[in-house]
Structure 1
């Protein structure tokens, strides 16, 4: 049985949200985690359930193509609504595919080479060749990603928020890339921010934020936070 501990915010009655941290090409582990989420949902039905992914589906790990195939084919546990947020790695990939020389170099440096390898594409071939070879469904998925999601007392986004700025006024860049001063801030942001982007050995739960990036691509677990009522639990893949 899933252990549920007191949480720093609450979800509306009858709702549960499963939120998965940074995946980074770990396709097999993503499928296994989805299966564990399905088992929990089957064992503990609820009126409304949402499965949210916090972004950074690609790069670093060995099977980014497999992750995008799995997600773009809408494979998810039956009965769960799906929400997909964007991360900085998706933004970097789309910028590189648009062809800017600096954007190409940045993406290859930050983890794009393993992504291209997962499609059997040559890093030296260039963005026009890459874009033409990528599945249309994968590109449509990447271009349709959202930046934020609200549920109860929680605000979900990839990287975090800038302290002192209203949630509805956050910049697109901060939402997918910020670290400091967000990570060290003790400020209340108007909601508890649930994020990834900054890898830790285990989930971080603080009064104003929850971090679900546990470095799956480099040997840590793939983490799903389970939010319901005034409780919080974790499922690992």
Structure 2
């Protein structure tokens, strides 16, 4: 997978302690981009994302910063909502003009990847939004039910409906992004470990509220994973997940010159 231009000259760390067959990339930059926008859990709400992306590009146009605009999606791109396939198609194209884009892995991407490898053993994914994702790729609902207990049949269905580049993209998403004084991941971090030593499970599955008792020194963690009625902004962490698949409200935060500068939300629709 080609890295965004901001990262092309930076080496990325990989970790495969949890699974020797998978490597998990950790991205970092030594300098803070002038503008950073971080989007919460999209969950297959493609129309909401397109609306929010347009708002972000319009906002950035009012404050030109060539080659210094970064768009970060905080994971849980897929599941629950109706248009996961269309969203991944969009994210495989070029980012908005003047932006670099980083999409992080969430627990739903992790579940999708494990299901694609071993459907029967990971069939619980279907009940946590995976059914909606497969339907978004054109898999009939009754075919999902009929094939749920067969690894061979379900793998055939996935191969016939889900593009291979979508599966590869989802499986190889980075698990974190580190910027000066800011750390981006889907869920939370283990406060007992250095940020560059976090496990994949910590970054995509853990409870971010742990940080309310055990903070990371000199770093604000930006995450999704746990829906809030509105963007939760605390000195030590910011939760950008506003439950788009149920509330139709998709949110983003803006960082300007390394400081929090406000929030953006899509035009809410039913």
- Structure 1 residue runs of 5 or longer lacking an equivalent are 1-10
1:144-223 residue pairs with structure 2 within 5 A? Answer: 144-179=172-207, 182-223=210-251
Alpha-carbon distance in 1 for matches of 2:118, 2:214: 40
Per-residue deviation at 1:73? 2.1
> Which of 110, 124, 127 is the aligned partner of 2:128?
110
Asked whether the equivalents of residues 37 and 77 of structure 1 are also in contact (C-alpha less than 8 Å), the reply is: no
Asked whether the equivalents of residues 76 and 105 of structure 2 are also in contact (C-alpha less than 8 Å), the reply is: yes
RMSD of aligned residue pairs (Cα, Å): 1.9
| 1:67 maps to 2:87 | yes
- Structure 2 residue runs of 5 or longer lacking an equivalent are 1-29, 148-153
**Matched residues, number:** 225
Per-residue deviation at 1:132? 3.5
Alpha-carbon distance in 2 for matches of 1:169, 1:195: 17
TM-score by length of 1: 0.88
4+ runs of 1 displaced by more than 6 Å?
A: none
Tell me the alpha carbon deviations over residues 131-164 of structure 1, each in whole angstroms, 9 at most, x when there is no partner: 3321123123212310010122100000010122
- Cα gap change, 1:134 to 1:13, in 2 (>3 Å): closer
Per-residue deviation at 1:235? 1.0
Higher relative contact order (CA 8 A, sep 6+): 1
| 1:88 maps to 2:100 | no
- Cα gap change, 1:14 to 1:177, in 2 (>3 Å): closer
Provide the residue aligned with 2:144 in structure 1: 123
> Which of 34, 53, 75 is the aligned partner of 1:34?
53
- Cα gap change, 1:97 to 1:27, in 2 (>3 Å): same
Alpha-carbon distance in 1 for matches of 2:255, 2:81: 27
SS where residue 87 of structure 2 aligns?
helix
